[in-house]
Amino acid sequence: MIKYLSTLLVGLLIVSSSAFAETSTEQGSLEKELAYLAAERKVVVTASKMEEHVDKTVATTTVITQDDIAHIGARNLLDVLRLVPGIGITQTQFGWREIEVRGVKTVLSEKVQIMLNGHPLDHNLQNAGSAWVYDDLPVDTIKRVEVVRGPGSALYGANAFLAVINIITQNAKDLNGVQTSAGWGSFDTQQYRASWGKQFNNSAEAALHFNFTDTNGINSPIPADSRSIQGLSSNAPGRSQLTEGRYDLEWQLGYKDFKLDGRYINKKAGTFFGVASVLSDDRTQQDYNDYFLRLSRTWKIKDNFTVDTQVFHDFFSYDNIWQTAPAQFLHNGLQDTRTGGEIQANYHLSDTQTMISGFSYAKEQQGNLSDQLGVDPAHLLPTLPSTEERIRKRWGVYIEDVWDPLKNVRLTLGARYDRYNDFGGTFNPRMGFNWEFIKNYSVKFSYGTAYRAPAFGELGLVNNPVLLGNPALKPEEVKTFETGIIAHPVTGLTTQATYYHSSINQIISQVPVRTAISQYENSGSVIAEGIELETRYDFDGALQGSYIGANHVLQHSVQLGQQLADVPRQRTNLMANWAFDNTWSSFAHVLIKGNTLRNSGDTRNVVPGYALFDVGLLGKNMFGKKVDVSFNVYNLLDKHYYDPAPSSLNFIGDYQMAGRTFFGHVSLKF
């Protein structure tokens, strides 16, 4: 077949070449050709002049492309993130997953800023973080995920504390038609997606994405809870009830320089264990609604001066029923909104220097509180509120200068000041340089600070028998220094080594104030340091499309002289992708995680480390480049492994995670 096609192509070329032979002989000389090339050389076209090549940024950045995601066979965002050096994913007792970054992990992942197409998604003002609805984000519509490790408040403001994860989705141009996909896997998991995108002749464009996902969850065995060990009636021993279902709609509409985009998500979930140290049955129901709507416009003032403006409205609500005993239920509900705007000026001073500066304003509001209690989830009675209605206003100004004083040197200098009506101001600088000291060898250095604003729950938690809010809280702060080297010793090989040192101060933590009562306080500090090593080799020639890669992290996080609990000292990812031909490729991944220590006073043995082996097969561009298929097996060797349960649940041991699981996926383009 290939031979036939080759012959046909040659034939076509011969026919066309014979027909036009005469005119070609009149063509110009070398001088004329070089003059043409010189004219073409005058224009360098790039997608965005502010986009920086990963090699040239001062921040430690990992980019996962749509192609990478397809090879990985990722089921959701977490499957993508767990391959990134310095990032770990673990299960929480409530259901959502926690994102560990550089040896620091909290239940709400509130120190990680997740963004969608550059828009922050930390819409839950009561408890902060974005993992509530974005941990299991479907990946079929994602074009690229950019993970910037280290502080980002100098540019992004609040909560870009340990890392920024920016998810870029497909736009009208990427879609150019209709794309659909479906996936099925273990635990009755099903995913469906439909996308449509079109660019119109009058410079209008539209892209719409719809995703639906549903799973019965992993049904992990839970041997005991706080009631069963006292001999009281209990659901334990039992199994986790982490059913999860979600649908979301994303839109990107553009007309000339205007753009209206946003995403609506509804997520319903059970729980993995539950609250109050009591194993829940299937009557715990979490119900989240989340959307943002953003209208933006880029104003071109001059060739080298543009202004980006945007107004946005974010919404988050939950309406949750928690089982706190076999016959006791608690209902919490509230609504959070954030409305604001931003103006950013981009000034290209020269080919080697770009400066951006901006101003942002937002008003955050929490209301529609609903708290009920009772023995039957269908007939609950009002009870005292668990938090307060609250309004916060904040504004910020920022400036950043990216300057290449030499062809092989980039300097970045930036700072941001934010002012909050409820706790005052915070100033965060960022500086760094990237120096390509030998061709293909660059050294990086950066220093920056970041902050996380206290969440409404931390400020205003009330009527809770064991925990109180604190209106006098200040933001927690981190100062990070990092340096690294990135090299391409031979074509196709990229290696990077990074050392980081972070000092987190004024940590917002729960401090005992009276017997059995704690209060949120700015108390304590954490020192986190580590080394991240990563390498990837992309094969060329007959093996083009194949690659091997590895990353290894050594991390050490200390609080009060002790290694932080529930985070490993080391983690390794090994990856290999073998392209058999232009269509078929196979992917293999090994995750090796070290032991994780316990809190002081927790007498359980350390959580043993483990190695997981995943494999996948991907067929791309079949049937006229219209069909992609993939099949992945996670934990192929059916390894029994555990995520750490907190000390408060020490009686259950740890969370047993999924054994061998399967996921198949089909994607169609029209």
Identify which of residues 436 and 534 has a Cβ nearer to another protein in the complex.
436
With binding defined as CB under 8 A, does residue 624 bind another protein? no
Identify which of residues 547 and 663 has a Cβ nearer to another protein in the complex.
547
Q: How far is the CB of 88 from another protein (least distance, A)?
A: 34
Instruction: Give me the amino acid identity at 362.
Output: A
Task: Specify the stretch interacting with another protein by CB under 8 A; choose among 40-48, 58-66, 213-221, 225-233.
Answer: 40-48
Sign of CA dihedral 510, 515, 517, 520: negative
Identify which of residues 176 and 190 has a Cβ nearer to another protein in the complex.
176
Asked if residues 306 and 299 have their Cβ atoms less than 8 Å apart, the reply is yes
Q: Return the residue of 1, 21, 381, 560 that touches another protein, per CB under 8 A.
A: 21
Asked if residues 539 and 558 have their Cβ atoms less than 8 Å apart, the reply is no
Max CA-CA distance within the chain? 98
Task: Specify the stretch interacting with another protein by CB under 8 A; choose among 180-188, 255-263, 366-374, 421-429.
Answer: 255-263
With binding defined as CB under 8 A, does residue 6 bind another protein? yes
Structure-block tokens of residue 427: 């100033």
Identify which of residues 10 and 511 has a Cβ nearer to another protein in the complex.
10
With binding defined as CB under 8 A, does residue 489 bind another protein? no
Helix residue spans in 25-76 (DSSP H): 30-40, 66-72
Structure-block tokens of residue 30: 């070398």
Map the footprint of another protein across residues 196-215, applying CB under 8 A: 198-206
Task: Specify the stretch interacting with another protein by CB under 8 A; choose among 13-21, 447-455, 463-471, 648-656.
Answer: 13-21
Contacts (Cβ under 8 Å, ≥6 apart) of 545: 539, 577, 579, 582, 585
Q: How far is the CB of 255 from another protein (least distance, A)?
A: 6
Interface with another protein (CB under 8 A), residue total: 68
Map the footprint of another protein across residues 420-479, applying CB under 8 A: none
Task: Specify the stretch interacting with another protein by CB under 8 A; choose among 121-129, 285-293, 352-360, 475-483.
Answer: 285-293
Binding mask 491-510 toward another protein (x if CB under 8 A, else -) reads: x-------------------
Contacts (Cβ under 8 Å, ≥6 apart) of 84: 62, 64, 147, 551
With binding defined as CB under 8 A, does residue 350 bind another protein? no
With binding defined as CB under 8 A, does residue 65 bind another protein? no
Contacts (Cβ under 8 Å, ≥6 apart) of 112: 99, 101, 129, 130, 159, 161, 162, 163, 164, 165
Map the footprint of another protein across residues 574-593, applying CB under 8 A: 581-582
Q: How far is the CB of 51 from another protein (least distance, A)?
A: 13
Helix residue spans in 82-224 (DSSP H): 131-134, 153-156, 172-175
Asked if residues 451 and 161 have their Cβ atoms less than 8 Å apart, the reply is yes
Identify which of residues 18 and 230 has a Cβ nearer to another protein in the complex.
18
Map the footprint of another protein across residues 301-330, applying CB under 8 A: 303
Q: How far is the CB of 548 from another protein (least distance, A)?
A: 18
Asked if residues 130 and 81 have their Cβ atoms less than 8 Å apart, the reply is no
Q: Return the residue of 542, 601, 624, 670 that touches another protein, per CB under 8 A.
A: 542
Q: Return the residue of 4, 42, 384, 623 that touches another protein, per CB under 8 A.
A: 42
Which DSSP symbol is given to 597?
Answer: P
Q: Is the backbone of residue 117 left (phi > 0), alpha (psi -120 to 50) or beta? A: left
Identify which of residues 24 and 230 has a Cβ nearer to another protein in the complex.
24
Q: Coil, helix or strand for 601?
A: coil
First-to-last CA distance in the chain? Answer: 25
Q: Return the residue of 184, 192, 212, 251 that touches another protein, per CB under 8 A.
A: 251
Task: Specify the stretch interacting with another protein by CB under 8 A; choose among 287-295, 525-533, 594-602, 635-643.
Answer: 287-295
With binding defined as CB under 8 A, does residue 67 bind another protein? no
Q: Rounded to whole angstroms, how far apart are CA atoms 584 and 546?
A: 11
With binding defined as CB under 8 A, does residue 18 bind another protein? yes
Q: Rounded to whole angstroms, how far apart are CA atoms 576 and 574?
A: 7
Structure-block tokens of residue 332: 């919490």
Q: How far is the CB of 44 from another protein (least distance, A)?
A: 5
Contacts (Cβ under 8 Å, ≥6 apart) of 152: 59, 113, 160, 163, 164, 430, 448, 450
With binding defined as CB under 8 A, does residue 13 bind another protein? yes
With binding defined as CB under 8 A, does residue 545 bind another protein? yes
Q: How far is the CB of 285 from another protein (least distance, A)?
A: 19
- Which of 458, 445, 449, 459 lies closest to 479, judged by CA? 449
Q: How far is the CB of 319 from another protein (least distance, A)?
A: 14
Map the footprint of another protein across residues 171-200, applying CB under 8 A: 173, 176, 198-200
652 burial level (CB within 10 Å; 0-12, 13-18, 19+): buried
Q: Return the residue of 1, 23, 516, 601 that touches another protein, per CB under 8 A.
A: 23
Kindly list the residues in this chain that would bind another protein in the complex (CB under 8 A): 2, 6, 9-10, 12-14, 16-21, 23-47, 173, 176, 198-206, 251, 253, 255-256, 260, 264, 289, 291, 293, 300, 303, 491, 540-542, 544-545, 581-582
